Amino acid sequence: MSLKHAILGFLSYLPLSGYDLKKAFDNSVQHFWPANQSQIYRTLAELEEGGFVTKEIVEREERLDMKIYHVTETGRAELHAWLTTPQPERDDREPFLIQVYFGGQVSDGEILKVMKHKLNEVEERLAVYESVYQMIQNTPQRIHDPRAIFLSVLTLEAGYVNNQSIAAWLKSAIERVEKKKYKIKIGEK
């Protein structure tokens, strides 16, 4: 996924300022596609230069003028083409699993420390998913298309389910290392 397409996606729902785009990222897709303010503004400039968005200047007396971005037909066509094109498999490199793979070279206490740290990260991520879901439930939606809302929340569900699975595996792995029960559980019911 590219930041360009995520921005076009947000703008396809409604025109937004760069500041509002940052809030949209933080309140919806940050669990799998975070973006910082400078990346957003840099990409907006590229999108405008490419004819994918237009910029409307809203003058304000007491503050700086506000720039509102609108997706163009060219931008909608680009987003549509991207949405309907299968994407290449992502890079699944996971440094933590390399640590576990070669963990036989360190003590149980040392590898347990690494595993428990990873479990803490996963549990924190699960808490973020839960809070994002609660926020979605308790905030009036600016998008009034139930299908679009459903599909967007499915991404949150995917992250939650994947991380629940990782947390369960980590808890089981930690327990087996602590009890020195070095048994693999692939295919067991």
pLDDT string in tens for the chain (189-residue length): 589 999 999 999 999 999 999 998 888 887 788 899 999 999 999 999 999 999 999 988 888 889 999 999 999 999 999 999 998 887 778 899 999 999 999 999 999 999 999 999 999 999 988 988 888 777 676 777 888 888 888 988 998 999 999 999 999 999 999 998 888 878 766
User: Burial of 176 by CB count in 10 Å (0-12 exposed, 13-18 middle, 19+ buried)?
Assistant: middle
CB atoms within 10 A of CB 103: 18
- 90 part of a folded domain: no
Q: How far is CA 56 from CA 18, 35, 59, 68, 75, in A?
A: 12, 23, 10, 5, 16
Task: Tell whether 127 and 63 lie within a shared domain.
Answer: no
- 26 part of a folded domain: yes
**Residue 129 CA from chain centroid, whole number:** 10
Domain that holds residue 135: 95-178
What's the pTM value of the predicted model, to 2 decimals? 0.75
What CATH number is attached to the domain comprising 42? 1.10.10.10
For residue 93, the model assigns a pLDDT of: 82
H helices of the chain, in order, are 3-13, 18-24, 37-49, 73-83, 95-101, 108-138, 146-178
- Cα atoms in the Cβ-side hemisphere of radius 13 Å centred on 37: 5
For residue 1, the model assigns a pLDDT of: 53
For the chain, the domain total comes to 2
Task: Tell whether 11 and 53 lie within a shared domain.
Answer: yes
Q: CA torsion 40→45→49→50, rounded to 10°?
A: 0
